[in-house]
Structure 1
């Protein structure tokens, strides 16, 4: 196949590929000869069907396959010899394809943007500051109080007391739609914490103020997107019989609380809480330091960006921002979204850093292991209780989904590699200082 360069301007590349009619016919006949021994056709013994008849019967399909294979081979050879890496899928078109007929030469136009040469980042010249926060007594006490609330129990209120928000009621109920009870709409001795949002909107609010031994009808409308289609959007009346009204009682912060959370005693629990808090602080501090690293790379490394990648990223950012401003729109049935200068600037940064980190990772031979991928899939699968296996199988069969899970793991490993080469100094700060630094990340 002949390859002729028609454009080389900046990162833009264009070529014309030509496969002569004779070359194409030879390749088709070669394929038919390979298949001939296994072909059976009425009137002929297996493997004895004449090539002209095979060509008449299967020629068009084989020709299509041959053209595609020839183009793929030519492109693979071109990228290997030129060293080009396309930024996006090359645009491939058949020249004068509508008028092409068998016996004509095949002419193909190929256009793409090449990835730029990316210079090495001088990581050793980058200085970073790592914020260190120690878990103080106040923070540990606050966390323990949170655990005590989680472990709270409920004790009966004085007879005749009205249920308040946060109280637990124990009750029987039967739900009916159009006067008929429905499956899953009844229970006995059900414990419900008012204000917990456990039931559909509007249900719990109507039970605030009830007393033990009281009967009350609660009328609600199921959401339009309710999981049970037969109930979605329907009005239901729940006949409720209140058996008990209980008030919350926070657990004491003592050894018994510690044992509820798997610790030997309160001192051990305090140590575990401090470790967990400091791990959380370290994670937040890493995010701040990562932003500082990316800022330094963005400032210190410069190279030409593929316009197609920047444009695609800017459109995606603009689309995301538009939906954040219009949360009521859940589909893509909306007009064209204008790409702002802010979206373009952010897109340039993302594309630049994405290409740079990818190059750094490749040169450092950073890889995402199978174990890391499996862990990432399992973490995502937990968001679909009862369907973990189906989600796992879906990811295994979906290359795009695998890439979405692999990308952040790869990026974090490249960032960790960069941290090892940069100059990092530690600075002990307060929790509030760290919090302000984290909040500043969202403002930029």
Structure 2
């Protein structure tokens, strides 16, 4: 077997791999000998079928496997000897593939871009500022008011009072299309909060100003994308009777409210709120710290980038941003999306930082544990209520999805590793200052 270099330019590599006919024949013979003990054939005892007969019957079938094994082995030996790590799966094509016949040498061309040598990062030279925000009494009180608002009760308004946006109206209604009542279009004693947008667009607006005892005909049109196809796009009339008009009353901020949210008393609830707020602040602070770290790494380390990796990343960025700008387009029948210079610049940064973090993690032997992966899968499975088991099975069978879940965990662990060696100064700031820092991230 012979491997001949044909290109070595920057990160680009190309080689010709030649597997002789004799080597292929030896591989086929090896596979036949390996399989012989288990083969049964009429007229022969199990394991005693002559190799010549086996080769005549199975040789052609094994030739393809032998060819693949030989090429895979040559590639593995090449990467072991050179130390090259391909940025993407190498391109391999057979020379004279259409005219090749048994008994000839097999010649393949292999090309790839090698991962570049990546310089070491001296974490000690990195200086970072960690924003620290404490949950103030005012923050806790604001959160308590929000909880009380969410736990609100509704009390009857004065007799003759008109319903306002945010009020709850109790109604009986009957819906009809073209004068005919339709299934599911009627209810009694239905409590509807005006402004909640829980009904068809325009329905709730027409009940604002209604009083107890009023009969209101609500005219609406079902959306074109409405779930029930026989109603989609149809005009409907709902005959409504107003039976009660109630205004929202926030719950009292007391021990009873605390118990509604699973706390023993108000003091315990305040403690839980403070912990939750500070956890949120820490998460936001970490996002700011991580961006600052990545900005410094991007400026500290430079190396050649595999062009195909950058092209693929730029295409993905362009595609993603196009869909964000065209949310109405759910498919991919939109033709080619050409990356701009801005996309390419962002792609270069992402590829550079991705390769750098991967190398730091490799040298530091950073790994993602099974427990961490399980937690990541659990978190994603919550997005599919009732289908958690199916999602677990889907992830187990899909290596690409597993990698998508593993990548951010690995990246965060590498970031923690670098931050641990950096010079980090804590800075006490207000919640507003932290919010401004987070908003600045979105503008970059």
Residue matched to 1:117 = 117
Aligned: 1:284 with 2:284: yes
Q: CA deviation at 1:226?
A: 4.8
Q: Is the 8 A contact 2:218 2:238 kept in 1?
A: yes
Could you list the runs of 5+ residues in structure 2 that have no partner in the other structure?
A: none
Distance 2:182 2:42 in 1: 66
The residue that corresponds to 2:368 in the other structure is 368
Greater alpha carbon shift after TM alignment, 102-111 vs 381-390: 381-390
Question: Residue 354 of structure 1: CA displacement?
Answer: 0.6
Q: Are 1:264 and 2:234 matched, yes or no?
A: no
Match of 2:419 in 1: 419
What is the CA distance between 1:73 and its match in structure 2? 1.6
Question: Does the alignment pair 1:351 with 2:351?
Answer: yes
- Quickly say closer, same or farther: Cα 1:400–1:235, change in 2 above 3 A: farther
SS at match of 1:74: helix
Which residue pairs with 1:246 in the alignment?
246
Please give the secondary structure, in 2, of the residue aligned with 1:383: coil
- In structure 2, relative to structure 1, the CA distance for the partners of 1:86 and 1:155 (3 Å cut) is same
Distance (whole Å) between structure 2 residues aligned to residue 235 and residue 374 of structure 1: 49
CA distance in 2, matches of 1:203, 1:53: 82
Moved more, 209-218 or 252-261: 209-218
Q: What displacement does 1:128 show?
A: 0.6
> For residues 185 and 72 of structure 1, what CA distance do their matches in structure 2 show?
66
Structure 1: runs of 5+ lacking an equivalent = none
Normalised by the length of structure 1, the TM-score is 0.91
Correspondence for 2:144: 144
**Alpha-carbon shift at residue 289 of structure 1 (Å):** 0.8
What is the Cα deviation at residue 383 of structure 1?
1.4
For the structure 1 residues 76 and 208, does the alpha-carbon distance in structure 2 shift closer, same or farther, using more than 3 Å as the test?
Answer: farther
Give distance in 2, aligned partners of 1:180 and 1:53. 79
**Aligned equivalent of 2:324:** 324
In structure 2, distance between residues paired with 1:197 and 1:151: 19
Which residue pairs with 2:132 in the alignment? 132
Contact in 1 for aligned 2:254/2:266 (Cα 8 Å): yes
Of 164-173 and 124-133, more deviation after overlay is shown by 164-173
Displacement after TM superposition at 1:51 (Å) = 4.2
1:214–1:396 CA distance, 2 compared to 1 (3 A): farther
- Aligned residue pair count: 443
- 1:290-305 maps to which residues of 2 (within 5 A)? 290-305=290-305
Does the C-alpha gap of structure 1 residues 382 and 174 become closer, same or farther in structure 2, counting only changes over 3 Å? farther
Residue 62 (structure 1) shift: 1.6
Give the aligned partner of residue 92 of structure 2.
92
Q: What CA distance in whole angstroms lies between the structure 1 residues aligned with 2:276 and 2:17? A: 61
Deviation at 1:220, TM superposition (A): 4.7
Q: Which residue of 2 aligns with 1:80?
A: 80
Structure 2 partner of 1:409: 409
| 2:338 aligned partner | 338
When residues 421 and 50 of structure 1 are mapped into structure 2, their CA distance, relative to the original with a 3 A threshold, is same
